[in-house]
Structure 1
Amino acid sequence: MAGNSQRRGAMRKPGTKKGATTGSGGQRRKALEGRGPTPRAEDRPYHPAHRRAELANRAAANREQRSKSAGTGAETIAGRNPVVECLRVGVPATALYVASGIELDDRVTEAVNLATEQGVAVSEVSRTELDRITQGAMHQGIGLQVPPFDYAHPDDLITAAGESSGPPLLVALDGVTDPRNLGAVIRSAAAFGANGVVVPQRRSAGLTAVAWRTSAGTAARIPVAKATNLTRTLKDWAKQGFMIVGLDADGSISVDELELATGPLVVVVGSEGRGLSRLVKETCDETVSIPMSTDVESLNASVATGVVLAEVARRRRLS
């Protein structure tokens, strides 16, 4: 009889009935519903378009950050030594730029590691872009964006000098307008144990990226103050026991006769052209000249400073 056959395949096994079964609740119908529209290529993590979109967004964010920084007077320090020196002493940097494909050395590796540890954003940019960011400076494939330089107060230099183990030594610049000279003076001051450098508020170079680079980063290791009135500041320091010595081509003594070197001392350096101003020169206790061959008219301001500071350091070692 139909339906009673015991032949293999003639009987339907329990649970194999086609269609919805009792208790399914219509789940099979829901399982057949679509998953919605296919995501855009940019939204799929493993699609090349997603990677391109990420890079474009990152570049836009970097441009926006640089635009904001430019509005606040931020500087970009260029060069491997200056960048590493700034990161070592914890200068509050905002971004580290590394050129694509540069040859890595110990300084670049250390700069990236220090920036990462300090939470500084590290961005890989093209060499052309880095040229633009550093305004054509010799960046050696690396640049560090820092906020405007935070100048100390002249009184802070006195405090720093009082905490030193040896006799206080300060350097004052009178109208030095070349940032390369400023950077070189700061470097010499740090090398020969000076406690700080002071510059006048007007008619003077500031701590720009050029000065940072020339100082090889030492501007981060020695306080630099800005004086509203340099003459008044020097007079105040003289009242506190400092002797004021000015560098002058027609100085009253030679650097070889600088007996004041072993006591509290301020070395004043004049501008590249006219030298010491009249009021500053009248404030000096002595003016010092550097003996030179008659074939040479004068030395660069930063070179002359280095010569005098080296003599001061030599006399202090011997005393």
Structure 2
Amino acid sequence: MAGNSRRQGAIRKSGTKKGAVVGSGGQRRKALEGKGPTPKAEDRPGHKAHRAANAAKTREQARQKKADRPELIAGRNPVVEALRADVPGTALYVALNIDIDDRVNEAVRLAGDKGISILEIPREELDRKTNRAMHQGLGLQVPPFEYAHPDDLMDTARNSGSAPLFVALDGVTDPRNLGAVIRSAAAFGAQGVLLPERRSAGMTAVAWRTSAGTAAKLPIAVATNLTRQLRAWASEGLMVVGLDADGTVDIDALDLAADPLVIVLGSEGRGLSRLVRETCDATVSIPMAAGVESLNASVAAGVLLAEVARRRRVAGRV
């Protein structure tokens, strides 16, 4: 066989040694340079993990850019209520040729007293700024909402002289529900509202409008991990109570309403998530007439908060 040095009469020529040589890819100047360890999948261009990581980064940048934009509270009553509540407005937009009434006059007067810029713009421009909301010729621009840290809520409760009462939202994505919950929380003596960082409504103009300005008076915090924060509060002595249509405890049997308490509300559709439900010390239901569907999240929150406030007054814990 040609090239087989073991066959009879074969002669090996010098410099033609077969087999592996030292190193690979050549030697000295011809040697190939190593590229180091293989990068992670998300760092390798063209890999599906790399594309997914880039898409997630783009979505996060878009979300952050949107969060950094100012919001516009639209409508005559919401604008007046926000100005009365000292919502930190930066500009009041008034549509040209607007039909002036007492609410318009009060909004302009309050904005002027607070040093807020008053700008007359065409109605079409106000339509665009408010995403064609029912603005009635008035729009109040507010800066991006500044969220508190969960620890700030506990500090607020300690300084209030009352037993801590917080409301935590688990996946509530409707900003109108968020605004209504904030309004109820402020009305019934809660010291703060906690939101998860993801899968939750934020303090948009719609939430500002529904809260009727109470968001400016009540600290609203964001937790990176809602379950972990609830466990941390539980370790500090707070009872974690989930509000659920299939709760194991009737609201009438809630004996610890006067103690430090966290009320957790589930999403509008699926209710409490599994991990949050497992973290709760108890799940509470509100008795209703037969044949009636479960209450809206914000309405249910108002009912439970009102009952907690009543029991605290009776117990002298307010």
- Using structure 2 for the length normalisation, give the TM-score: 0.74
1:276 to partner: Cα distance: 0.6
Q: Confirm or deny: 8 A CA contact 1:88 1:114 kept in the other structure.
A: yes
Q: How many residues align?
A: 251
Q: 1:168 aligns with which of 164, 168, 174?
A: 164
Q: Residue 283 of structure 2: SS of its match in structure 1?
A: strand
Matches within 5 A, 1:303-318: 303-318=299-314
Partner of 2:88: 92
Contact 2:86 2:213 in 1 (8 A): no
Which deviations, in whole Å up to 9, do the C-alpha atoms of 1:164-207 show, x marking residues without a partner?
Answer: 13222100000001111111111111111111101000011111
Shift of 1:81: 3.7
Q: CA deviation at 1:153?
A: 0.6
Moved more, 250-259 or 96-105: 96-105
What residue number does 2:152 align with?
A: 156
Inter-partner Cα distance in structure 2 for 1:313 and 1:254 = 17
Percent identical pairs in the alignment equals 70
Work out whether 1:218 is the aligned partner of 2:206: no
Which of the numbers 266, 281, 286 marks the counterpart of 2:282? Answer: 286
The alignment partner of 1:184 has SS state of: helix
State the alpha-carbon separation in 1 of the partners of residues 214 and 84 from structure 2. Answer: 11
Q: Distance in 2 between matches of 1:195 and 1:80?
A: 29
Deviation at residue 103 of structure 1 after TM alignment: 4.2
CA distance in 1, matches of 2:144, 2:266: 25
Aligned to 1:51: none
Q: Secondary structure at the match of 2:241?
A: strand
State the distance in 1 between where 2:67 and 2:301 align. Answer: 35
Aligned residue in 2 for 1:209: 205
Distance in 2, matches of 1:315 and 1:70, equals 42
Task: State the distance in 1 between where 2:197 and 2:183 align.
Answer: 20
**Partner amino acid, structure 1, of 2:292:** V
How far apart in 1 are the matches of 2:310 and 2:67? 46
Q: Please list the CA deviations of residues 40-66 of structure 1 after superposition, one character each: whole Å capped at 9, or x if unmatched.
A: xxxxxxxxxxxxxxxxxxxxxxxxxxx
Q: Which amino acid aligns with 2:293?
A: E
- The 5 Å alignment of 1:52-131 reads 72-131=68-127
CA distance, structure 2, for counterparts of residue 264 and residue 106 of structure 1: 44
Q: Which residue of 1 is the match for residue 273 of structure 2?
A: 277
Query: How far apart, in 2, do the equivalents of 1:71 and 1:156 lie?
Result: 21
Q: Distance in 2 between matches of 1:138 and 1:306?
A: 26
The 1-side partners of 2:74 and 2:213 are apart by 10
Give the distance between the partners of 1:115 and 1:124, measured in 2 at CA.
13
Task: For residue 145 of structure 1, report the CA deviation from its aligned partner.
Answer: 0.8
CA spacing shift, 1:108–1:291, aligned 2, 3 Å:
same
Specify the alignment match of 1:146 in structure 2: 142
Aligned to 1:254: 250
Q: Which segments of 5 or more consecutive residues in structure 1 lack a partner in the other structure?
A: 1-68
Helix, strand or coil: the match of 2:132? Answer: coil
1:180 aligns with 2:172: no
Cα gap change, 1:279/1:141 in structure 2, threshold over 3 Å: closer, same or farther? same
Within 1, Cα distance between the matches of 2:234 and 2:156?
16
Matched, 1:198 2:198: no
Q: C-alpha separation between the residues in 2 aligned to 1:100 and 1:177?
A: 35
- Residue aligning to 1:13: none
Contact 2:82 2:212 in 1 (8 A): no
Q: Write the letter of the residue equivalent to 2:193.
A: V
User: By how many angstroms is 1:248 displaced?
Assistant: 1.1
